[in-house]
Structures are given as C-alpha cells and as structure tokens.
Amino acid sequence: MESHTTVAEPSSQGSVTLDNVEQLLEMPLLDLVFAAAAVHREHHDPGRVQCSQLLSIKTGGCPEDCGYCSQSAHHKTPVAREPLLDTASVLAEAATAKANGADRFCMGAAWRQAKSGEEFERVLEMVRGVKELGLEACATLGMVDEQQAKQLEQAGLDYYNHNLDTGRSHYSEVITTRTYDDRLETLDNVRKAGMKVCCGGILGLGEEQKGRAELLHELANLNPPPESVPINTLVQVEGTPFAKADPVEWTDLVRAVAAARILMPKSVVRLSAGRTEMDESAQAMCFLAGANSMFVGDELLTTPNPSPSSDASLLQKLGLNAVSTDE
C-alpha cells in the first residue's frame, strides 16, 4: 500500500519558504486535505466554528483604487457614498448580530486612512459599545498609525483587520494607491498596540498559483502569524476592473484553506466573501480542511452572503457548533 504524503508544520517563525508553500499547493488534493485535517484536530476542536458578523459603518467614496472593490471612488458601481453611521444604529446592529449567534462584530469603513477627529472618536465609542454588549470587537478602517492603533486598543478593540489581498509580485496589478509595505506597516502598528491581527487575502484576482503561494508565505512569516486569517474568493462587481474575472475553482479554495491551516496551525481560518457561489459540499470540504470560522449575516459590507437560515442548516448537517473559539 502506498503511503500518503506527509507534511511538517512550521518549526519556528520565519522557517516557511516559498518552496514549502508551493509544494503544499501542488499536493494531490485529498492528501493535502487529509494532512490539514490532522493539523486542525491537533490544535482546534473540529466541531466548533466561530461566527463573525460584518457591518459597513461608512460606505463608498474610498480614494483607493483596489480593482475588486465596489466602494472605490475610481469605479462606477451601484454603491453610493454614505456618511459614517451613528453609534446607536451600529450598536443596534451589533445587538441583533449577537442575538443571531455571532460572537464577534466587525466594523468596516471605506477609508484609505483612519480619520482623526470626531469621526474617529465616534468609532472608538462604537468599539466600547460593542464590548459592553459582550461581543468581541473587530474593525477595518484602512491604514492606522501607532497612536490610532493604541487608541483603538484602549477602547477595547480585540482584532484589527488589514488584508494583504494578494502576493507581492501581483499586487501592483490589483492596487496602485497603497503599497504592500504600507499594509505591513499598519499590521506592525496593530501589533505594537497589543491587538490581535486579522489578515488574509482574496483568490481570483488574476493571480497564478505562485501568487497564491506568495500570499500564504507572507502571512505565515508574519511575526507572529495572524490570529485570524480570512480567505475570500472574488465577488465580481459590475463596474470594477475585475468584474469579468474568471471564477475561482472550489478546489483552489480548498487548497488555500488547507495550506493556510498547515502553515498557520494555531490561527483561526475564516471562510469569507464568495460563499454564495459555493455549494454545501464545497463548504463542507473547506471545514474538513481546517476552516473554523465564517461570516454570518445577509451581507458583507456591500456584497451578498448566505442567509442565516441556510448557514444554520449547513452547520446542523455537518454536526458543527457555532461557538466562540475562545471558550
């Protein structure tokens, strides 16, 4: 009988090479999933799935030119520019999210850089309110400097999301208004402030497999790796440069999830945007491969997400429990 290919977890920070990642992604799919499932069960309860809900607290008009984004002012999309929401409205949404089973509430603002002044103070008020509801709080506000990061931490923010989006060599094909190193600097500021990092990327931006390997390599070699790793598949939005991009094969998503689990064994790996294009079997394979978090709620910022009832049905079929990974 032939033996299955075995893989070793990273032994130390910085020990993951690009060749290591490429070899993982080239493994036979079922061997890769088998290996990832073993790593997952060593570090996590495979029956638990952490549920987050995401709200756009400031929509549209972003000066960045991210080629996939419906909120960029550079693209003609159906998304209208709206002001920052009031605190009471955000906290009402957070309370509803908690009632529907979410244990983390994420707030996203379409800014290049977090705004100082009254609007930033309002965001800090939102963070404090979310924490008072008994939820974990996460925010994505664009770039933050050291002082802003510290203010967010002092307000109680648990996670700051700032994705790398894609590999370094492909990055300029997707975004030109912010550098890769700008993103890494924000992540460094978040770490210095004492917050947890939420950082992942998007599949389907025209990248080759090497680009996906570069993204995973960069994430795995952050010091330490992100506590939360969202893996998105592109949602094509009319009016953006990637509106006609080829859809991502579900097997490629499973490969990315499995590789992320092996490379970052202690991180929470989240199924994020793009689940509306996946059937239940594909999502089940992702959970088997090591995904242990998902976004719930009907919408992710401005893109659709499966309904709460369909997610509840899926988790029930798979025997998974929507509970906090910190319990």
The residues carrying an active-site annotation are 62, 66, 69, 106, 138, 198, 270
> In the numeric block, which tokens belong to residue 212?
């996906």
Contacts 24+ apart (CB under 8 A), 207-210: 207/166, 207/167, 207/170, 208/170, 209/22, 209/25, 209/26, 210/22, 210/167, 210/169
Q: Which residues, 6 or more positions from 177, have their beta carbon under 8 angstroms from its beta carbon? A: 63, 64, 65, 66, 112
Give the Å distances, CA to CA, from 291 to 36, 109, 199, 278.
Answer: 10, 26, 15, 14
Amino acid at 37: A
Which single residue is written with the structure tokens 């088998």? 34
Distance of CA 311 to the CA centre of its chain: 18
| Alpha-carbon gap, residue 14 to 11, rounded angstroms | 9
Distance of CA 194 to the CA centre of its chain: 19
| SS3 state of residue 233 | strand
Eight-state DSSP code of residue 140? E
| SS3 state of residue 216 | helix
**How big is the chain by its Cα radius of gyration, in Å?**
19
Half-sphere exposure of 56 (CA within 13 A, CB side): 21
Residues belonging to the chain: 327
Residue 64, number of CB atoms within 10 A of its CB: 20
